[in-house]
């Protein structure tokens, strides 16, 4: 591969987004878990749930801090690495970028109030209510930034004249056809990942022999929410599939190695592609499933890559990214069901292998977000702004992109190590059972 500026810019942007999305996903989902735990603590008069909220919010502040740094890096790189794109589309995406910043400030203000007002109110529900604006701010922040990505996939709300966009309608640009599927799927995925990260911590403590009721209650709570959010993500994935079928058929066709336009199209999982004959070998083919995904009917005609100009085909490797995301989604649905099955059969005793599956769900949930994000971006290629601007025409022509890549890689390595050490030291000598006794 020739490492020209376009390739280097894509690698650096991918690295930044891939690192940032870990903290962004936790930043969206953890506030929901905190609020639920505190509400249960008040409702049931159970200090263990209240302690969950107290401990989780401490860790949440670290993810927020790192997310701010990496989010700032993304804003910087949009201008430095993709100046032609920003020149064309900057005015159309200015409103959601501003609103995303406003939503973060809104979240940060109420997070500060939430952190420093524990036990300050006679009515504990007053403190719990402060968590709601934090959830609104974090979720709104994700929504607004996803509208920017949605605009890149389904640009509208402007007129293109002489290489510039004019007659801009910011709200029309924001609420484009891709917005519901993009924003909804990302927000629910963040909720799932956060539930499983917290579940993995509780499962790990139980696996290590800690029998305290705090961890059992935390595990049950996170498994309940994980199941609900995983189900919601799967349902929203159906919406995303129907969006792709109508508005980005090339991405769906590449994801499914669907080369021939036809009705009663099968969904292909796995397999190996013979690039000479374009035949899929060893794959699992589900009859009619792709047509049902695309239009809720086995008779729905699904556009194949035969109707897409060859130079506009996305890289066919996205098939494996799509399969990975779907497979992990099924795993995240199955594990909570298995957990509750054993709870019922064993009257609360959870086998060690189920605990290990729960622990494995945390990195897999994050991997699903990463593969989903890569699929969304690589599957849009060769376009940075679908139908209007190709990626190779948007990258900077300035030098030193390679040096920037090295510097930002070192920055993310430093942030990753430091944040991990801070989180471990924050809780290492302060187990939950000791805090309950104090």
Q: 251-271, pLDDT tens digit by residue?
A: 988 888 888 888 888 888 888
Does 225 have pLDDT greater than 90?
Answer: yes
Percent of the chain with pLDDT over 70: 97
Confidence of residue 385 (pLDDT cuts 50, 70, 90): confident
Does 162 have pLDDT greater than 90?
Answer: no
Does 1 have pLDDT greater than 60?
Answer: no
pTM (predicted TM-score): 0.90
Does 204 have pLDDT greater than 70?
Answer: yes
Q: Which H or E run includes 279?
A: strand 279-281
Cβ–Cβ under 8 Å, residues 305 and 355? no
Give the pLDDT confidence score for residue 107 in this predicted structure: 87
Give the pLDDT confidence score for residue 262 in this predicted structure: 87
Q: Tell the burial category of 174 from Cβ atoms under 10 Å away from its Cβ (0-12, 13-18, 19+).
A: buried
Does 367 have pLDDT greater than 90?
Answer: yes
Name residues whose C-beta falls within 8 Å of residue 143's C-beta, 6 or more positions apart in sequence.
103, 183, 187
State mean pLDDT over 392-400.
79
Q: What is the mean pLDDT of the chain?
A: 86
Does 438 have pLDDT greater than 60?
Answer: no
Give the pLDDT confidence score for residue 222 in this predicted structure: 93
State mean pLDDT over 170-191.
90
Give the pLDDT confidence score for residue 231 in this predicted structure: 92
Does 123 have pLDDT greater than 80?
Answer: yes
Interval 128-147: pLDDT, tens: 999 999 999 999 998 998 99
Interval 296-353: pLDDT, tens: 888 888 888 888 888 888 888 888 998 999 899 999 999 999 998 888 877 767 888 9
Token pair recorded at residue 391: 């990626």
Give the pLDDT confidence score for residue 275 in this predicted structure: 78
Token pair recorded at residue 288: 């009619």
Residue 285 phi, psi dihedral angles, 5° rounding: -110, 120
State mean pLDDT over 21-27.
89
CB count within 10 Å of CB 428 equals: 8
């Amino acid at each position: 591969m020739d490492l020209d500026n376009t390739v280097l810019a894509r690698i650096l942007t991918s690295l930044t987004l891939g690192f940032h999305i870990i903290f962004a996903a936790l930043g969206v989902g953890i506030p929901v878990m905190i609020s639920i735990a505190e509400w249960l603590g008040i409702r049931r008069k159970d200090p263990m749930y209240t302690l969950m909220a107290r401990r989780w919010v401490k860790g949440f502040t670290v993810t927020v801090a790192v997310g701010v740094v990496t989010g700032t890096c993304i804003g910087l790189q949009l201008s430095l690495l993709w100046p032609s794109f920003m020149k064309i589309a900057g005015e159309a995406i200015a409103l959601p970028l501003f609103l995303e910043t406003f939503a973060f400030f809104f979240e940060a203000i109420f997070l500060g109030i939430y952190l420093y007002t524990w036990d300050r109110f006679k009515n504990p529900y007053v403190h719990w209510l402060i968590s709601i604006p934090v959830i609104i701010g974090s979720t709104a922040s994700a929504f607004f930034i996803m509208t920017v990505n949605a605009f890149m996939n389904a640009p509208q709300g402007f007129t293109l004249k002489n290489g510039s966009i004019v007659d801009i309608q910011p709200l029309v640009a924001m609420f484009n056809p891709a917005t519901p599927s993009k924003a909804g799927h990302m927000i629910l995925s963040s909720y799932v990942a956060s539930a499983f990260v917290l579940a993995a911590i509780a499962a790990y403590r139980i696996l290590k022999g800690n029998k305290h009721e705090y961890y059992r209650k935390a595990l049950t709570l996170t498994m309940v929410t994980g199941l609900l959010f995983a189900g919601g993500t799967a349902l929203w994935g159906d919406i995303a599939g129907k969006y792709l079928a109508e508005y980005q058929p090339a991405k769906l066709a590449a994801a499914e190695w669907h080369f021939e336009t036809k009705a009663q199209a099968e969904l292909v999982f796995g397999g190996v592609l013979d690039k000479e004959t374009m035949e899929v070998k060893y794959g699992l083919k589900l009859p009619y499933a792709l047509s049902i995904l695309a239009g809720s009917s086995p008779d729905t005609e699904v556009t194949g890559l035969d109707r897409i100009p060859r130079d506009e085909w996305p890289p066919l490797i996205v098939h494996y990214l799509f399969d990975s995301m779907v497979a992990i989604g099924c795993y995240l649905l199955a594990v909570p069901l298995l957990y509750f099955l054993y709870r019922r059969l064993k009257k609360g005793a959870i086998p060690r292998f189920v605990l290990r599956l729960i622990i494995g769900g945390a990195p897999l949930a994050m991997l699903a977000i990463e593969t989903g994000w890569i699929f969304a971006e690589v599957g849009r290629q060769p376009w940075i702004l679908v139908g209007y601007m190709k990626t190779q025409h948007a990258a900077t022509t300035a030098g030193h992109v390679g040096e920037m890549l090295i510097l930002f890689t070192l920055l993310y390595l430093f942030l990753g190590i430091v944040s991990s050490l801070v989180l471990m030291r924050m809780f290492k000598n302060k187990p939950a059972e000791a805090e309950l006794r104090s």
